[in-house]
Structure 1
Amino acid sequence: MSDDHHTQRLAEPVPPAGRLEVQNPFDLKPIASVDTLDRRGVEAALATAHALFRERDAWLSAHERGAILHRTAAAMQRDADRLAALIAREGGKPLVDAQVEVARAIDGVHNCAEVLRSDGGREVPMTASAAAAGRLAFTTHEPIGPVVAISAFNHPLNLIVHQVGPAVAAGCPVVVKPAEDTPLSCFAFIDLLREAGLPAGWAQALVTDGPETAEVLATDPRVAFLSFIGSARVGWHLRSRLAPGTRCALEHGGAAPVLVDGDMDPADVVPALAKGGFYHAGQVCVSVQRVFAPRSLAEPLAQALAEAAAALRVDDPSLADTAVGPLIRPAEVDRIDDWVRTALSGRARLLAGGEPLGRTCYAPTVLFDPPADARVSRQEIFGPVICVYPYDDADSAIAAANDLPFAFQAAIFTHSLDFALHAAQRLDASAVMVNDHTAFRTDWMPFAGLRESGLGTGGIPYSFADMRTEKLIVFKS
């Protein structure tokens, strides 16, 4: 057991229910231990959040919240190297990508402060009706109430910023439960918020002693808004159990499709596909997974992608030149290998990878034309595997791309405006990238999973809007 021990970040600490060991996912060595909390801890956190929200005179003003957020971003910049190393150690993300995540998270905290300046109320016209004459009506915004955020492991700092930052900006007390695999980045962010002047009760963090306790946290009637990032199975279950009146946003995943036009040179497509598919070992909810290319181009494209995959260094994520790190748990290595081998027992051809590299890593893998009913074709693999499928006409490829219960982000590679517009209008997706990979995003753009991929719209300004209510005030003269 590591000597680095972390307690919960509650306003009023309670006795722990147990202790969780946090491991480095590359070498499986313990790096820290974290207290877990049972229902008593959940009750303490929610009671604090509820009491703060009900005491309106204790609400922080918008300018106070903005200043706290800007000071937090400055402290994150000061600690950027420490935060990047923490992401790499607990989450297995290669250091170069962890540094990018920290930079994004810092910018995201600034974004949380900036939305306070740009999203005011509105006048509701009263002069259009004789019955409304002599009145002035306008809207203002108020915090929706206590927010509970349940987060995922794959971006252990930036996802927390996306869930906690808008709540702070909106003036909502927030209780966040990070992923059990990666709680340390969350705790670090909460500590920096408090260092910047946020009173402890406005942002609390805890790790529960099991899924039942996490469900109690999410479904308590005092929760006004649930922000969930994680598996569809858990997310839809929690939504079905929410208390009446609780709003929510769910972000799950998909099996992102890419449609390549016949006018493309593989050399112009492969770098983006490799980045979008193998970044963070494919553990991204909009990672490139299914690539559709014309029959004449598909195999040369797949071979070039295989060469790019074979050239990636898979190693310790703390090393500067590591391109692909570990899966979050050894069980994920076994699952991915099983999916790949099952596809190979069908008609799929293995062009690169296809094997575990030790207990914790999986070789970047390219499969050519796996069966349409294989799990690699129909479910989110959440690993470093890209499948390439030949097509005879674009509309049949679009139909195959759409033939899943998921719809999130998609991509098109083409030099033809007509092809781009035709495909973009027909792909089932909330966002379509043209000549870029499916995993591109900025943190202020809408980010929405459709169908089983999620509910609501992420992105900092959109989460901020979700965490506020609009109040109409009418004056009669």
Structure 2
Amino acid sequence: MEKLIVKQAYTGETLAELEMHDNTRVQQMLSMAQTLHKAGRLPEAQRIEVLQKLANLVEIEHEDFSRLIANEGGKPIRDARVEVTRAISGIRIAIIELGNIKGEEIPMDYTPAGVGHKAHTILESIGVVVAVSAFNHPLNLAIHQVIPAIASGCPVIIKPAGLTPLCTLRLAALIQEAGLPVGWVQVALLNNENAEKLVTDPRVAFFSFIGSAKVGWSLKSKLAPGTRCALEHGGVAPLIFDEYANEEDFVSGVVKASMYHSGQVCVSVQRIYVAEKRMQDLAQKIATVAAGQVVGDAINEDCDLGPLISAKETDRIELWVNEAITSGAQLITGGKRINAVSYEPTVLLNPPKDAKVSTQEVFGPVVCIYGYKTLDEAIEQANSLDVSFQAAVFSDNVQRAMEVAAKLEASAVIINDYTTFRVDWMPFAGRKHSGYGIGGIGYTMRDMLEHKMIVVKK
């Protein structure tokens, strides 16, 4: 039996040794899930009771989950606690959203053909849900994929990231403890071959994917006919800095927004556009704060930046930064590897427009600052890539900020806050290569339901 070794993100110490599932087990999971769906979804009152109990159970284990996130995923313990709080809130949001999801009456007498008929819609569970999750928010991403399925009455099979499966396994155990019958939530520990067999099986009604664009789009192309899906990939998030008086707060905040979880967030600020006359000064201020960040083991209370998820990713970031500097970028701070899995907080000024750090998601503690002559030039550069997720603009001129927001190609534009802003009930989605469909607890619940119209002839 193939083994999955889960290691502490910074020290490499073994946290768990797990048995992976083979294709036989995949088929068993799918059969069980399909059987449960065909038998009919659980009553809404039962689902609500499970979710209420689950929220309380996760809250009891708040610190245990926080330490698990820090150890297996490398997210600083202070930020890990925020993730757990969000996860608990996400469970409760699903309960609220159940009250907002309902069918509707369809008017039928607009034309003579419809006279004498009445119609309304009802919502039914779509069927078996398969979710493939990412490493960077090991609890909250599972919440966003599993909890909507429970709330909507769909059996769900989730494959967590191989590097960070422990939060998902513990969450699944608590879901069962909260009273959800066996089989409605299953956790699959799979290699890539068996994961693809799971995802592409014709019994899958809905596929939820959070991860790299390359993998997500490839899997989408292989889905069985009729399988619906939602893909959430990354971006190269742009922020346009106009005239903004509270510069000190902006600088400290933008370091957090670009370096949070060592930049391993799909909407991390990566490209900052500043008027040419201000770019050097602002870059230096950002660099000063960035250089003061404490890098180390995420479990330590004083840690600001934990490790990268693997040595391979650290290798890649090191290569990209070195290429940018060789090609003309000015290194303001950082630019060096600390150890196998850690990299210094790095600020680059005016890297070439075609450099990897300018065109691809770094997913590391690297932020790039570019000068612009006009706002239209900044907007053009912000829109120049084939990825598009959240964007931001800072300006004391509200009208100008709204004009910039209207021109930015993004699924959300945040004014006077950062691209990382999110609450879990808002729509969250990528455009272009950055994704497909809309995330957010309530929006995902709606994706997992199908409309059925009932027409009655009077």
Q: List aligned pairs for 1:52-451, cutoff 5 A.
A: 52-56=36-40, 59-208=41-190, 210-451=191-432
Partner Cα distance (2:309, 2:277) in 1: 37
**How far does the alpha carbon of each residue in 1:19-38 deviate from its partner, in whole angstroms, 9 at most, with x for none?**
11001111111111111111
Q: Residue 53 of structure 1: SS of its match in structure 2?
A: helix
Q: Residue 412 of structure 1: SS of its match in structure 2?
A: strand
**How far does the alpha carbon of each residue in 1:365-395 deviate from its partner, in whole angstroms, 9 at most, with x for none?**
0001111111000000000000000110110
Identity %: 47
Partner Cα distance (1:300, 1:119) in 2: 50
Q: What corresponds to 1:6 in structure 2?
A: none
Q: Residue 148 of structure 1: CA displacement?
A: 0.1
Q: Is residue 200–residue 224 contact of structure 2 (8 Å, CA) maintained in 1?
A: yes
Partner Cα distance (1:358, 1:243) in 2: 44
Q: What corresponds to 2:14 in structure 1?
A: 30
Closer, same or farther in 2 for the Cα pair 1:46/1:268, shift >3 Å?
A: same
Q: Residue 452 of structure 2: SS of its match in structure 1?
A: strand
Q: Give the TM-score, by structure 1 length.
A: 0.95
Partner Cα distance (1:200, 1:317) in 2: 34
Partner Cα distance (2:329, 2:121) in 1: 58
RMSD (Å) for aligned C-alpha atoms? 0.9
Partner Cα distance (2:415, 2:244) in 1: 14
Partner Cα distance (2:228, 2:154) in 1: 14
Q: Residue 31 of structure 1: SS of its match in structure 2?
A: strand
Give the partner amino acid of 1:331: K
Q: What corresponds to 1:50 in structure 2?
A: 34
**How far does the alpha carbon of each residue in 1:217-248 deviate from its partner, in whole angstroms, 9 at most, with x for none?**
00000000000000000000000000000000
Closer, same or farther in 2 for the Cα pair 1:21/1:248, shift >3 Å?
A: same
Q: Residue 265 of structure 1: CA displacement?
A: 4.9
Partner Cα distance (2:153, 2:17) in 1: 31
Partner Cα distance (1:285, 1:146) in 2: 27
Q: Residue 264 of structure 1: CA displacement?
A: 4.2
Q: Is residue 172–residue 186 contact of structure 2 (8 Å, CA) maintained in 1?
A: yes
Q: Residue 18 of structure 2: SS of its match in structure 1?
A: strand
Give the partner amino acid of 2:341: T
Partner Cα distance (1:134, 1:378) in 2: 59
Give the partner amino acid of 1:283: Q
Q: Give the TM-score, by structure 2 length.
A: 0.99
Q: Residue 118 of structure 1: SS of its match in structure 2?
A: coil
Q: Residue 286 of structure 2: SS of its match in structure 1?
A: helix
Q: Is residue 243–residue 394 contact of structure 2 (8 Å, CA) maintained in 1?
A: no
Q: Residue 418 of structure 1: CA displacement?
A: 2.3
Q: Residue 296 of structure 2: SS of its match in structure 1?
A: coil
Could you tell me which runs of 5 or more consecutive residues in structure 2 were left unpaired when the two chains were aligned: none
Moved >6 Å (runs of 4+): none
Partner Cα distance (1:338, 1:130) in 2: 69
- Which region of structure 1 is more displaced relative to structure 2, 131-140 or 79-88? 131-140
Number of residue pairs matched by the alignment: 458
Partner Cα distance (1:74, 1:391) in 2: 50
